[in-house]
């Protein structure tokens, strides 16, 4: 009998120390049979506006190289010929990052004089930082050294050994110290003459659209403020909105 009482007392004490599982949580308006789900969220920072994963901004890349033997061969008789004011050994191939017309990052190529090559990279670094769109950035040799064809294709270019239209004076492009950017959006204008002809749609410079060079604006800042070049859009007798040069001509 004594042993029975001790066993019953022990069982009671164990039951008090180890209670049975709690009853299910019942929210207002639910029943014990209604499943209740608990959500947990960890917030580490603002999510991207589109709900996707945030991506790092693309990095700018710029390089300056001597002209390769193959490139010199391609340029001879096209963008460069005997009698040009600058020998091929004084020119450099510049490769830069750019934003394409569709807003995607890409690359482009120019040939410029060695003494301005690093400055040109600095200018294009600013254009890239501002996401300024450049329709095409290829060597003029792709168009047979024909400036008119390059402009019609809305191609931005630099070195091309040629004279100023209607004169016997070497263009600054012949020295590798001038660059034309987005010729269609930034045409050459003198009286009723507009080159290229497709540039007539952009004669209203107050109607600023993609790829246009205006004042103030990222392209003008890149060349005039950062590397101390001059802009043809500031000329008085004519306007060459596409044109930047080291000496203003």
Dump pLDDT digits (tens) for 31-53. Answer: 333 333 222 222 223 334 444 55
Residue 5 lies in a domain: no
Model confidence pLDDT, tens digit, residues 206-219? 999 999 999 999 99
Task: Give phi and psi for 217, each to the nearest 5.
Answer: 180, 165
Higher pLDDT, 68 or 35: 68
Residue 1 lies in a domain: no
Which pLDDT score is estimated for 40? 25
Residue 207 lies in a domain: yes
Q: How far apart are CA 153 and CA 161, in angstroms?
A: 19
User: With 70 as the cut, is the pLDDT of residue 25 above it?
Assistant: no
Residues 118-137 have a mean pLDDT of 98
Handedness of CA 248, 124, 72, 143 (dihedral sign): negative
Residue 7 lies in a domain: no
Number of domains in the chain: 1
> What global pTM score does this model have?
0.77
Which pLDDT score is estimated for 166? 83
Residue 44 lies in a domain: no
Residue 41 lies in a domain: no
User: With 90 as the cut, is the pLDDT of residue 221 above it?
Assistant: yes
Which pLDDT score is estimated for 232? 97
Sequence-distant (≥ 6) Cβ neighbours of residue 171 within 8 angstroms: 160, 162, 163, 164, 178
User: With 60 as the cut, is the pLDDT of residue 29 above it?
Assistant: no
Residue 10 lies in a domain: no
**Structural domain of 95:** 62-162+173-245
Which pLDDT score is estimated for 9? 45
Which pLDDT score is estimated for 24? 37
């Amino acid at each position: 009998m004594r042993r029975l009482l001790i066993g019953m007392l022990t069982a009671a004490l164990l039951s008090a120390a180890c209670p049975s599982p709690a009853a299910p949580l019942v929210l207002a308006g639910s029943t014990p049979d209604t499943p209740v789900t608990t959500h947990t969220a960890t917030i580490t920072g603002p999510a991207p506006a589109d709900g996707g994963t945030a991506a790092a901004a693309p990095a700018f890349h710029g390089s300056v190289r001597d002209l390769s033997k193959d490139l010199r061969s391609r340029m001879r008789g096209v963008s460069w010929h005997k009698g040009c004011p600058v020998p091929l050994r004084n020119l450099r191939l510049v490769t830069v990052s750019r934003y394409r017309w569709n807003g995607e990052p890409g690359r482009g190529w120019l040939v410029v004089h060695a003494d301005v090559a690093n400055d040109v990279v600095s200018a294009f670094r600013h254009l890239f930082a501002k996401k300024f769109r450049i329709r095409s950035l290829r060597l003029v040799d792709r168009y047979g050294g024909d400036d008119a064809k390059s402009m019609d294709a809305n191609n931005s270019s630099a070195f091309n050994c040629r004279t100023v239209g209607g004169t016997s004076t070497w263009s600054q492009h012949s020295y590798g110290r001038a660059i034309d950017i987005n010729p269609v959006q930034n045409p050459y204008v003198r009286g009723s003459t507009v080159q290229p002809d497709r540039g007539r749609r952009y004669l209203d410079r107050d109607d600023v659209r993609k790829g246009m060079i205006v004042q103030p604006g990222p392209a003008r800042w890149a060349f005039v403020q950062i590397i101390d070049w001059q802009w043809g859009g500031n000329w008085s007798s004519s306007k060459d909105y596409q044109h930047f040069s080291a000496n203003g001509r």
